[in-house]
Amino acid sequence: MIISLVNSKGGVGKSTLAGNLAGWLARQGRSVILADCDTQQSSSEWIREALPDLQVVRLADADAVLDELPSLRHEAEFVIADGPGSQTETSRALLMWADLAILPCKASMFEARALDKNTSFVRQAQAIRKGPPAVMAVLSMVGREYRLTRDMREAAAGLGLKIADTAVTLRQAYADAPGQATFVWNMGYVARGAAEEIEQLFQELFPEIAAESSTPQKRVEANGITSR
At 72, which amino acid appears?
A: L
CB of 17 to ligand ATP, least distance (A): 7
Cα 13 versus chain centre, distance: 9
CB of 49 to ligand ATP, least distance (A): 15
14 binds Mg ion (CB under 5 A): yes
Range in contact with Mg ion (rule: CB under 5 A) among 10-18, 127-135, 154-162, 180-188: 10-18
Q: Which is nearer to ligand ATP, 14 or 92 (CB)?
A: 14
CA 166 – CA 99 distance, rounded (Å): 21
Q: Which is nearer to ligand ATP, 4 or 140 (CB)?
A: 140
Residue 171 interacts, among ligand ATP, Mg ion, none and using kind-specific CB cut-offs from 5 to 8 Å, with ligand ATP
Under the rule (CB under 6 A), what is the footprint of ligand ATP? 10-16, 38, 40, 42, 85, 140-141, 168, 170-171, 174-175
Binding residue for Mg ion, selected from 8, 15, 28, 213, defined by CB under 5 A: 15
Instruction: Please state at what angle helix 62-72 crosses helix 88-97, rounded to 10 degrees.
Output: 20
CB of 99 to Mg ion, least distance (A): 21
CA 121 – CA 118 distance, rounded (Å): 8
CB of 167 to ligand ATP, least distance (A): 9
CB of 28 to Mg ion, least distance (A): 23
Cα 120 versus chain centre, distance: 19
Q: Kindly state the DSSP code that residue 3 receives in the 8-state scheme.
A: E
Residue 107 interacts, among Mg ion, ligand ATP, none and using kind-specific CB cut-offs from 5 to 8 Å, with none
CB of 206 to ligand ATP, least distance (A): 19
Residue 12 interacts, among Mg ion, ligand ATP, none and using kind-specific CB cut-offs from 5 to 8 Å, with ligand ATP
- CA atoms within 13 A of residue 150's CA, in its CB half-sphere: 0
When CB distances to Mg ion are compared, the closest residue is: 15
Residue 96, CA distances (Å) to 43, 70, 128 in order: 21, 10, 9
Cα 227 versus chain centre, distance: 32
The DSSP secondary structure of 159-192, one letter per residue, reads TT-EE-SS-EE--HHHHHHHHTTS-GGGSGGGGH
Q: Which is nearer to ligand ATP, 21 or 213 (CB)?
A: 21
CA 155 – CA 115 distance, rounded (Å): 8
**Which residues contact Mg ion (rule: CB under 5 A)?**
14-15, 38
